[in-house]
Amino acid sequence: MTLTPGLCSVTMRHLGIEEVAKLAAEAGLTAIEWGGDVHVPSGDIDAAKRARVACTAAGLVCASYGSYLLADGDSSTAVIASALDTAVALGAPNVRVWTPFGVEPGSPRTGEVVDGLARVSDEAATRHLTVGIEFHGGTLTATAESAASMLDAVGAPNLSTYWQPPYWGSDRSPADDAAEVLGLGSRLSHVHVYEWAGAEDRRPLAAGTRRWRAVFDALADTDQSSRCAFLEFVADDDPRALLRDAQTLHELLGDPA
């Protein structure tokens, strides 16, 4: 298994596309997940092309499109196509989508989400894209178990789930996190990397060395797929914090950069 060090562009929302790409390259990162909230909104093909050019100029790979597409019964064909076509314009092989907030497992809306994800996955397959579900509190993919259940229910071969440290849950040990990613195995997409004591308390990545060594060791035992370890949301949204955490990420990955 290969882990590529990367950056979620949402980490630097206040910087322009070219600035984000240059900063990622300066940090020695090699991939970007461009976010659909600020830098590359869904349907903005011009922004997608700018981001693609910026990646090429900086020697980076556009590894994923971080869309905010909600896969549920309200997602029209046009809305789905807009997000997927934006990923294609970026040159991204993967698109991240969300399950809606506030849906109770087993409720009628759960079936709508399953159907929505199936439609997104089918449409993505026609564009040779993979789909990764955001792993997030308050959604139907808030735990490794619920994410696996959703993947089972949809049954699409191009569908997988992201993973990030579940700060929304109870206190966890590094072994707990390692067990989750190991259990997801080949069904795991990319990983969002950060160290938080809570949503409003962002710590240096080095404070989570034990966690991330355990997680990366577990990923090494899963399969030979190539995944990205995307840095996300550093302290104070500070480029200097990003450079610091990127150095820690390189060390954790055994990367000489």
Other Cβ atoms within 10 Å of 173 Cβ, number: 11
Q: Where are the alpha helices (DSSP H) in the chain?
A: 17-26, 45-58, 77-90, 108-126, 144-154, 174-184, 209-220, 239-253
pLDDT in tens, the chain (257 residues): 579 999 999 999 999 999 999 999 999 999 999 999 999 999 999 999 999 999 999 999 999 999 999 998 667 899 999 999 999 999 999 999 999 999 988 888 999 999 999 999 999 999 999 999 999 999 999 999 999 999 999 999 999 999 999 988 878 899 999 999 999 999 999 999 999 987 788 999 999 999 999 999 999 877 656 899 999 999 999 999 999 999 999 999 997 65
> The CATH number of the domain where 201 resides is what?
3.20.20.150
Residues found in the chain: 257
Q: Which residue's entry shows tokens 């900086």? A: 58
Q: Which residue's entry shows tokens 């962002």? A: 202
Integer Cα distance of 20 and 22 in angstroms: 6
Say which residues have a Cβ less than 8 Å from residue 100's Cβ, sequence separation at least 6.
70, 71, 72, 109, 113, 139, 140
Q: Nearest Cα to 146, choosing from 104, 93, 206, 112?
A: 104
Residue 129 domain boundaries:
2-253
Total structural domains within the chain:
1
Say which residues have a Cβ less than 8 Å from residue 56's Cβ, sequence separation at least 6.
none
What is the chain's percent helix, strand, coil content, to nearest 5?
A: 45, 20, 35
The pTM of this model reads: 0.95
DSSP code, position 103: P
SS3 assignment, position 8: strand
Q: What pLDDT sits at residue 257?
A: 59
